[in-house]
Amino acid sequence: MREALADDLRAALQAADFTHDRVVEVLGTTAQAGLARNETTPGLRATRGGSRLETLIRLWLLQTVITREAADLALPGLVDRLVNAGFLIQSVGEVAARIDIRPYAADDLDLWVASDLTPGLDGAPNLVSPDFVLGVSSASTSLAQMTIRDQVGTALDLGTGCGVQSLHLAAHAQHVVATDVNPRALRLARFNAQLNEVDIDVRDGSYFEPVVDEAFDLIVTNPPFVISPATGERLVYRDSGLPGDRVVEHIVSASPAHLNPGGIAQVLANWMILKDRPWAERVGEWVSGCDAFVVQREVVDLPTYVELWLKDAGLHGAPDYHDRYDTWLSWFDDQGVEAVGFGWINLRRNDTEPTLRFDDWPYEVEQPIGAELAAQLRRLRPVDLTGQRLTTRSDVLQETIGPVGAEDPSQIVIRQQRGMRRARQVSTAEAALVGACDGDLSIDQIQSALEDLGVGRVADEVVDALVADGFLVNEETS
Ligand SMILES: C[S@@+](CC[C@H](N)C(=O)[O-])C[C@H]1O[C@@H](n2cnc3c(N)ncnc32)[C@H](O)[C@@H]1O
């Protein structure tokens, strides 16, 4: 059902110039940074002018009580309707926000996103209700930046929350399905779709249940992946209700059945690292019928992990804080867990001979990284290099290190400036081979020339690795 409210609100937000760039301009970098630390005072000082834009910033981003008069000026004819819809609350002569609405800009999109209010501003307790609907978080942004933005027919956003991934997907997928189990999230996702004038097919249900017989070209998900003992207590935006990392296992193993041939699934995930097993072996067991490129971006020790999520739930300092902390760590002990891995699981359906690659890569990468992940998935297939005329990727630079004044460097490193920003220490022969790959000569011709010059041949495995890591490319792998 279309809500006229969303259409009318959009018109008011446009009229007030409530865009990402204007908000950043009004707040300035210091107040903006303060807000990122949940501090509103610098923002309040920057928004004293009384313009409609400043009123909206105070109402939503700074969660200030504003006068009814100011609210009516900024949102003409909308205040009562927003109160009735539960977006605002009013008392005599004053109005405050119950739902956050803020501009969001990414991928050349200028959007607005409605979600629950940011908890814990200015040191207030960080308490959230079990059906809290998260706004655009750092995890949402990570997933949005890793998403492969090729044009596709159908896309699924599993666990849509406020619908932020779907808003992105709508720009490059003909049909977007968004699912969630939280009725408040479903309502906000529908509202946000309408507010931003995009069609999203929002469906109620757990995991793949709402799409049981359907397959997609692209699945993206930032699931409720927090690894905890599953005590029954649950913040639905982060806890799946399943023990350990079963939620990720379930999504990864169920995805292939919901992918069209060649379709891609991208999952932001946490996984348990067990004491006696390499993480990749465990995560690899969940993958079937797909090529996989899995990147472990971070490894977190258990106390840090437990503290992070207890604080996120507003439980730091609670009377039972120690008990909860201790119980969680004991549960990790019982499971044989040593640490928690955070990372990206990228799958591409391949019914023939899937190739899996697992990287530990905690270093900075280019953002958005989606296009590089697509290229990396293409590069998983072994390439027959016979007769191939490869090119050195244009962003690869050589660094040489050695004693001052020495004629020859003691180390040569080739480093990508873009994509995963991989670096590799190479021999003189390897550097010469990479330098010679300009698309004119085949690899075999370059190898013969290196032999003739007395530099020596580069091992085939090294050439394969240079191709697999994207230092050397052809049309298919770039
Ligand atoms: C971490 S939030 C992600 C929200 C949003 N997609 C984003 O990227 O910011 C996880 C979402 O999964 C939803 N969720 C929890 N359990 C689910 C389930 N069993 N099936 C589908 N969605 C679920 C939550 O309600 C929440 O909206």
168-225 pLDDT per residue, tens: 999 999 999 999 999 999 999 999 999 999 999 999 999 999 999 999 999 999 999 9
With residue 413 as reference, give the H or E element that holds it.
strand 411-416
N- to C-terminal Cα distance for the chain? Answer: 44
137 CB less than 6 Å from ligand 1?
Answer: yes
189 CB less than 6 Å from ligand 1?
Answer: no
Cis peptide before 368 (omega within 30 of 0): yes
Torsion of CA 84, 89, 90, 94, to 10 degrees: -140
Q: What is the atom index within ligand 1 of the atom nearest the CA of 161? A: 27
Q: How far is the CA of 153 from the centre of ligand 1 (A)?
A: 23
d(CA 354, CA 317): 48
180 CB less than 6 Å from ligand 1?
Answer: yes
Residue nearest to atom 19 of ligand 1 (CA): 206
Q: Is 339 in contact with 288 (CB distance < 8 Å)?
A: no
Q: What is the 3-state secondary structure (H, E, C) of 48-93?
A: CCCCHHHHHHHHHHCCCCEEHHHHHHHCCCCHHHHHHCCCEEEECC
Neighbour-count burial of 197, counting CB atoms closer than 10 A to its CB (0-12 exposed, 13-18 middle, 19+ buried): exposed
pLDDT digits (tens, 9 = 90+) for 237-284: 888 888 899 999 999 999 999 999 999 999 999 999 999 999 999 999
Question: Could you tell me which residues come within 8 angstroms of residue 80 by beta carbon, excluding any fewer than 6 positions away?
Answer: none
Residue nearest to atom 7 of ligand 1 (CA): 140
| Averaged confidence pLDDT in the chain | 95
Q: What is the atom index within ligand 1 of the atom nearest the CA of 238? A: 1
Global confidence as pTM:
0.96
b or e along 50-72 (b: 16 or more beta carbons within 10 Å of the residue's beta carbon)? ebbbbbbbbbbbbbbebeeebbe
d(CA 241, CA 263): 28
237 CB less than 6 Å from ligand 1?
Answer: yes
Mutate to test the pocket of ligand 1, among 141, 156, 160 (most ligand atoms within 8 A of CB): 160
Residue 2 has pLDDT above 60, yes or no: no
Residue nearest to atom 8 of ligand 1 (CA): 140
Residue nearest to atom 18 of ligand 1 (CA): 206
Q: What is the CATH number of domain 138-379?
A: 3.40.50.150
Residue with tokens 């697999």: 468
Question: Could you tell me which residues come within 8 angstroms of residue 406 by beta carbon, excluding any fewer than 6 positions away?
Answer: none
Residue-range domain boundaries for the chain = 4-97, 138-379, 391-473
Average pLDDT of span 104-109: 88
Residue nearest to atom 27 of ligand 1 (CA): 161
475: three-class secondary structure by DSSP? coil
Q: How far is the CA of 86 from the centre of ligand 1 (A)?
A: 22
Q: Is 163 in contact with 112 (CB distance < 8 Å)?
A: no
Q: Is 284 in contact with 345 (CB distance < 8 Å)?
A: no
Determine the Cα angle at 437 with ends 435 and 438, to 5°: 105
pLDDT score of 239: 86
